[in-house]
Structure 1
Amino acid sequence: MSRDPVSAPLHRRLENWGNASRGAYDPVDAAKITRAWQTLHPRHRDMLRMVYLWRASHEVICRRMRIPRRPAQRLELELAAARAALTRALETADKD
């Protein structure tokens, strides 16, 4: 984890957040991610939970989220939207 969590890429921050129950992680940054995550739309929360906390397979995520499995980019677009929503929530939280 970077010394400055704000400058760390979002993917690494989310991996840190997912590791909270698995071992070594940065608890301060994980708490920031959790607070921002709680403000998201339920669909985005569920997507991020399945990918980073549960580490579910693409097949499971598509089935539970009712995302068509083909083309494969559909899942990536949904995940990108969830990450973008989290980025906006983190930016809003940093302003406050």
Structure 2
Amino acid sequence: MDLRALESRLENWAAAQRSMGSSRPDIGSIEGRYRKHSAEASSDPRIDMDDAKLVNEAWKRCLPLEKDILRMHYVWRAHSSFICRRLRLKQGKGHTHVWEFAIAHAQRAIAIRIAVEERVEESTV
């Protein structure tokens, strides 16, 4: 999968996640529990909800570390130093390759899972 196409799909997924808030009622902010999720998400014409759902299904099948990296980087828009600190990855001078490897690994993992989800979707249609 082309990295630019993957980036745009992940950004679309992240925008859908941010617009919908948490899908689980037991997590998230108090504000997120009372927000009208479906109306907000469907009112933004820039978000492709069908593709976001497909990417989300692929994200669910990722390993926990991959899921955390993708969520923090795309949905939370967190800085790499924050993500590394939170996930206890080495950071600082001489360790930038650790972050680059982690994000590349997570992107590759979700790209593979998206391809699988697309094949499953095609076979059911």
Q: TM-score range by the shorter chain?
A: 0.7 to 0.9
User: For 2:13, which of 10, 17, 21 is the aligned residue?
Assistant: 17
Query: Which residue in the other structure is 2:54 paired with?
Result: 32
Whichever residue aligns with residue 104 of structure 2, its letter is A
Structure with greater proportional helix content: 2
Name the % identity.
33
Matched length: 91
Instruction: Pick which of 25-34 and 68-77 moved more.
Output: 68-77
What TM-score comes out, normalization by structure 1 length? Answer: 0.85
What TM-score comes out, normalization by structure 2 length? Answer: 0.67
RMSD of aligned residue pairs (Cα, Å): 1.8
Whichever residue aligns with residue 91 of structure 2, its letter is R
Whichever residue aligns with residue 93 of structure 1, its letter is E
User: For 2:96, which of 57, 72, 88 is the aligned residue?
Assistant: 72
Distance 1:63 1:28 in 2: 33
Instruction: Flag structure 1 segments of 5+ consecutive residues without an equivalent.
Output: 1-5
Instruction: Flag structure 2 segments of 5+ consecutive residues without an equivalent.
Output: 20-43, 121-125
